A = this chain, B = another copy of it.
Amino acid sequence: MMTSMHFADALTKRVKATSAVTVGLDPNLEKLPEGITRDAKGLLTFGTGIIDAVKDTASCIKIQMAYYEVLGWEGMKVFFDTCAYAKLQDLIVIADGKRGDIGPSSEAYADAYLSKNSPIDALTVNPYLGSDGITPFIDRAVKHEKGIFVLVKTSNPSSGELQDLPIGDEVVHEHLAQLVESWGAQCLGPATNLSCVGAVVGATYPEEMTYLRTLMPHIPFLIPGYGAQGGTAADVKHGFLPDGTGAIVNASRSIIFANKGRDWREAARRATEEMAGELKMR
């Protein structure tokens, strides 16, 4: 349990005890394995099964909220139940909701997902509205020893349309990275000197990642895009700090849908162990 420990310190401790692997629970209903029903009950069976399969090797689970919201409030109930189950297994639980709004609404989102008794340890947030949409999340994170991961450079093909626009000598996501570093400087963990404010930096853009690491020395990176999206261990190498800490690497489809037949649990376990091995060799 992560009680009474700064988020970045707890994250780093857990990564050292397990691996930097973050399993992305993106349970697309149409892709669920054989024998799982396409409904809220099926989502819970699948999610808890994946959690059981990966909990000894993965440090974190990142749960994509869209696949729960698509089932309405019943889906949201399963989302919270799945988060609670993952937390009980000592996984660090990241809600991938990419929330962000004007200040008062961001306060409500922060209270929704980063309250004291929430099973969620960290939330992904969208920076398009600027600092007054982000500050409420940081306030709750500091108060309740939670974390956030701000979208900086996302892993998808069109991420550059806004994020790579040139502004003077830099591009938008580099400018944002400096804001994130300054936001994060206010809440460093005593053990690691890393912030409770993290950044999402896609594995699919390794050159950008290398430079972003220099712009954000105190910021934990959540690196999506490993596996099915094309990122490799070599690509994510420079997202880590020189001492090997400071980053977690997310793979979703290559783990949770490693096998669509009856042995999907065992396939997910093996895929997680394989990825952990790849990351340790980097």
Please indicate the chain B residues that have their CB under 8 angstroms from the CB of A102 in the complex. 154-156
User: For the complex, is A47 an interface residue (Cβ under 8 Å from B)?
Assistant: no
User: For the complex, is A133 an interface residue (Cβ under 8 Å from B)?
Assistant: yes
Given contacts A66-B108, A100-B98, contact A151 B165 (CB under 8 A): no
Point out the residue from B80, B104, B175, B176 that lies within 8 Å of A72, measured CB to CB.
B80
The stretch among A122-130, A190-198, A232-240, A263-271 that forms the contact with chain B is: A122-130
Point out the residue from B108, B131, B158 that lies within 8 Å of A130, measured CB to CB.
B158
Please indicate the chain B residues that have their CB under 8 angstroms from the CB of A151 in the complex. 128-129
Point out the residue from B109, B155, B162 that lies within 8 Å of A69, measured CB to CB.
B109
Please indicate the chain B residues that have their CB under 8 angstroms from the CB of A26 in the complex. 104-105
The bracket for how many chain A residues form the interface is 35 or more
Given contacts A129-B156, A158-B132, A162-B130, contact A112 B66 (CB under 8 A): yes
Residues of chain A from 128 to 142 with CB closer than 8 A to chain B in the complex: 128-133
Please indicate the chain B residues that have their CB under 8 angstroms from the CB of A163 in the complex. 128, 130
Please indicate the chain B residues that have their CB under 8 angstroms from the CB of A100 in the complex. 98, 126
CB distance from A257 to the nearest CB of B (A): 12
A71's nearest neighbour on chain B, judged by CB, is B112
Q: How far is the CA of A23 from the CA of B179 in the complex (A)?
A: 34
Dominant secondary structure at the A interface = helix
CB distance from A274 to the nearest CB of B (A): 23
Please indicate the chain B residues that have their CB under 8 angstroms from the CB of A98 in the complex. 99-101, 126
User: For the complex, is A161 an interface residue (Cβ under 8 Å from B)?
Assistant: yes
Please indicate the chain B residues that have their CB under 8 angstroms from the CB of A1 in the complex. none
Please indicate the chain B residues that have their CB under 8 angstroms from the CB of A259 in the complex. none
A161 B126 Cβ-Cβ under 8 A: no
B128 A162 Cβ-Cβ under 8 A: yes
Name 14 extra pairs, CB < 8 A, besides A102-B155, A172-B172: A66-B106, A67-B105, A69-B109, A70-B109, A73-B73, A76-B76, A98-B101, A98-B126, A100-B126, A102-B156, A103-B156, A128-B128, A130-B159, A165-B167
What are the 4 closest A-B residue pairs judged by CB atoms, nearest first?
A130-B158, A130-B161, A66-B108, A73-B77
